[in-house]
Amino acid sequence: MDNPSIFADSENETRNILNQGGTFLKSARCAEFRSAEGRKKAYEQIEEAEIDALVVIGGNGSFTGAHLLHKEYGLPVIGIPGTIDNDLYGTDYTLGYDSATNVVVECIDKIRDTASSHNRLFFVEVMGRDTGFIALRTAVATGALDVVLPEEHSSMEDLISEVEKSFANRKTSNIIITAEGNHLGNTYDISRKIVEQFPHIDTKVTILGHLQRGGAPSCMDRILAGKLGVAAVEALLNGKSDVMCGVENQDVTFTPLEKAISQKVELNMDLLRISRILAT
């Protein structure tokens, strides 16, 4: 941190931010932190600012850094899962996921107005570089014809056959959701392949991009943030460290940071089945 004075008036700094998106601390990925030298510099700044402990909100990269700070300097650290991707082990939900999926649903509802008015097929690309949580959840919530995930589950031929069946069933418009890191490739290329097969269908692509990462947090995210924030501070006061607090089946749980970082979290593929039933 280049400017420790940011901590000078921390009580006032954190008032009236409950309803804001983004980060007022301006914290972000930091390549320097990957080296022992970079972490030493960070620790010196932490000492200088007289910080006793860290509550680190983030995903795998942030937790790796927090874990190393704890290991190398004995600094008490607690992780809070914060990523719109929802891809962290040890929690059912990560902060930002619900807000981001609400944005996606709102946007797709609007896109559907054009799709149905003009008999179009829309490909809507949502975020999710490595996992398809956003794509799958919003596919169910918007009644999408199909969803293409980073987790391999279907081929281009399957997609073509879904489109064929749907238009044969006299459905005149459709939405297909793609995750940015999907296993079939670039969304424009997928769309082009569909146009080759169905040149008579008016096909469009919308990339939602960073729209998904902004705006006021949803009610569910605010409650989750409150629950986990209180749990993290209480855990630190009780001497806990090097763990992530998450929420599983409504209860706050603690998972060692090392485990949260190393374990892979799986998508609930039953949602895909549900999505396909609802789309027919």
Instruction: Name the residues annotated as catalytic.
Output: 85
Which tokens hold the place of 276?
Answer: 């396909």
For ligand F6P, which is the closer residue by CB, 90 or 128?
A: 128
**Residue among 86, 116, 88, 112 at smallest CA distance from 212:** 86
For ligand F6P, which is the closer residue by CB, 15 or 210?
A: 210
Core vs surface per residue 216-241: b (16+ CB within 10 A) or e: ebbeebbebbebbbebbeebbeeebb
**Residue among 279, 258, 278 at smallest CA distance from 89:** 258
> Is 180 an interacting residue with respect to ligand F6P (CB under 6 A)?
yes
Q: Which residues 71-100 are close enough to bind ligand F6P by CB under 6 A?
A: 83-85
Q: Which of 88, 127, 260, 272 binds ligand F6P (CB under 6 A)?
A: 127
Which phi-psi region, left, alpha or beta, contains residue 12 (left: φ > 0; alpha: ψ -120 to 50)? alpha
Q: In whole angstroms, how close is the CB of 145 to ligand F6P at the nearest point?
A: 23
How many amino acids of this chain bind ligand F6P (CB under 6 A)? 8
Q: Which residues 3-32 are close enough to bind ligand F6P by CB under 6 A?
A: none
For ligand F6P, which is the closer residue by CB, 25 or 278?
A: 25
Distances (CA, A) of 72 to 2, 40, 65, 188: 21, 9, 10, 46
For ligand F6P, which is the closer residue by CB, 127 or 205?
A: 127
> Is 128 an interacting residue with respect to ligand F6P (CB under 6 A)?
yes
d(CA 158, CA 193): 12
For ligand F6P, which is the closer residue by CB, 213 or 227?
A: 213
Q: In whole angstroms, how close is the CB of 239 to ligand F6P at the nearest point?
A: 31
Among the candidate windows 127-135, 146-154, 200-208, 259-267, which touches ligand F6P by CB under 6 A? 127-135
Which tokens hold the place of 65?
Answer: 């850094």
> Is 125 an interacting residue with respect to ligand F6P (CB under 6 A)?
no
d(CA 241, CA 54): 9
CB atoms < 10 A from the CB of 53, how many?
16
Q: Which residues 208-267 are close enough to bind ligand F6P by CB under 6 A?
A: 213
> Is 126 an interacting residue with respect to ligand F6P (CB under 6 A)?
no
Binding site for ligand F6P (CB under 6 A): 83-85, 127-129, 180, 213
